[in-house]
Structures are given as structure tokens and as C-alpha cells.
Amino acid sequence: MRPRGNVMLNREVNRGTGLWQLLKCKEENLRIFVLGIAIYIYLALGAWMFQAVEQRRENQVRSHWNSHYDRFLGQFSRDNDTEATIAVTQNDLEDFLSAYGDAIKAGYAGLHSRDKWDYRGSFHYAWTIVSTIGYGATSPGTFLGKMLTIVYALAGVASGLLFFNLYLERIITFITTWMRYLRNLRQRRRPSIYTAPIKGSVNDKLARRASQSSAENESALELQDWKPSVQSVLLCLLLKSAMYIFLSALIFQLMEGWSYFDSLYFCFVSFAT
């Protein structure tokens, strides 16, 4: 018969190991969850701060440009009786183009454009700081906004890098667990050829059972110590990243109306930085 002492011992070891791994997994998940909540609060506060600092200047630039635009269009008023159009001088045109250039430098994007420094735009800007992506579409124009960006990035970038490292660690742990599970399935199928009835003496059967039990114990210990190779984990990460980029590009193509190549380029720049 199979020795019960070794079986119970192996069960206790496996149970203890599984419990420790479960507690460790919960602790790591709780850590990344708490850090994610803290970063979200940090982003929300940063969005409120940048909105309070930059939105006033944006409104001034928009109002200044609208006044130039209305004054320029007013020179094209048509007389219904004579159907004569008032001429525009070269100086008027140069002033108009100069005002438009100043508005573009200040972040103005058009008459019907959305405010860049509303809460959503400010939240997006805070996220580009923490994630170190930096698209460049939005940048502070005031001295105070630039100084706050430097101070805000000191803690934000460090927290973002820590979060991404923990997130990558969880992904690698998931891939490793999945590959270990597949290996365990293959290992369980191998000893099944020895479970058929064996003709012979009782001693031969006992010896074969003892050998099978020893092989199972060795296989269990080997499975606990087994780790996938770096190449296999890297290959899984590359496949997952490629699938994530291609699917995200399709979503941006449908939502933004971009071409698929432009969406793919945007996703690659976002994930690569």
C-alpha cells in the first residue's frame, strides 16, 4: 500500500504553500489597488489645480482672438443697395494673421474647439505627466503652470513608474501561473500509463506502486520549483502587447475617425513611452 505518512506530509506542504501564495497574491493585489486609488486621487487634484491656473489665461486668449475675428469680418459687410464690399488693407490682414498666430501659440485650436483646460483636458494633461507620455498637444502657458508641472511631476512620475512596475509584475505572475498550470496538466497525463493492472507477484505490485508514488512526489516537487524560461515569458508578453495595440488601434479608428495606421501609430507611441 502507498505510505500514508508521505501523502499526508505532501498534502500539508502543498496546502501550506498554496495558502502562502494566496495570501501573498492578495497582498500584492491589495497593494497595487491602493496605489491605483492614490494615483487617481492625485490626478483628480492635479486636474483641479491646472484648471484653476490655466483656464483663465485660455479664456483671455479666446476672447482676444474672437474680438480680432469679429472686427476683421466686420470689414466685409455688404451694402444691399450698392452690393459694394469694403476693401481690406494689407495692414489689417497682417494684424489678423499675427493675432491668429499668437492664438495658436497660446493653445487656441479653432472657433468651435473645446476648451483645452477644462476639467477633462486638465485631467488628461495630468495623466500625461504621471505616465511620462507627453503628447505635446497641451502645455501650460503661464509661469505658475510650468513651475507646478515640475513640482507635480516629482511625485507623480515616481508613483506612475511604481504602479506600472507592479502591474507588469502581476502580468508576469499570471503568465507564469498559467504556464505552470499547463505543465501540470501534461505531467498528470504521463503517469497514467502505469495505472493499468500489472500481472505478477504482490511484491512486484507494491514495488511498482511505491515507485509510482515516488515519481508523483518528485514530479510535484519539481513542479513547485519549476519556472518558465525568460524567452517563453517574453514571447507571451510580446504577443499580448501586440494584440493589445492592434485592438486598441481599431477602437481609436472607430471613435476618432482616424485611419488604422494613424491609430496604430498613436497606440504604439502611447504604450512605448
Range of 23-27, 187-191, 266-270 with top mean pLDDT: 266-270
The answer to whether the beta carbons of residues 204 and 143 sit under 8 Å apart is: no
Give residue 13's pLDDT band: very low, low, confident or very high (50, 70, 90).
very low
Cα 241 → chain centroid: 11
Residue 263 has pLDDT above 70, yes or no: yes
Instruction: State the SS3 of 24-61.
Output: HHHHHHHHHHHHHHHHHHHHHHHHHHHHHHHHHHHHHH
Residue with cell 492635479: 46
Q: What pLDDT is stored for residue 2 in this prediction?
A: 47
Residue 43 has pLDDT above 50, yes or no: yes
- Distance in angstroms (rounded) separating the CA atoms of residues 253 and 247: 10
Q: What pLDDT is stored for residue 87 in this prediction?
A: 63
Residue 50 has pLDDT above 60, yes or no: yes
Q: Is the pTM of this model over 0.85?
A: no
Per-residue pLDDT reduced to its tens digit, 146-179: 999 999 999 999 999 899 888 888 888 888 888 8
CATH number for the segment(s) 4-227: 1.10.287.70
Per-residue pLDDT reduced to its tens digit, 125-138: 999 999 888 777 78
- pLDDT higher at 101 or 157: 157
Q: What pLDDT is stored for residue 21 in this prediction?
A: 56
User: What is the average pLDDT across 195-202?
Assistant: 50
Q: What pLDDT is stored for residue 156 in this prediction?
A: 92
Q: What pLDDT is stored for residue 149 in this prediction?
A: 93
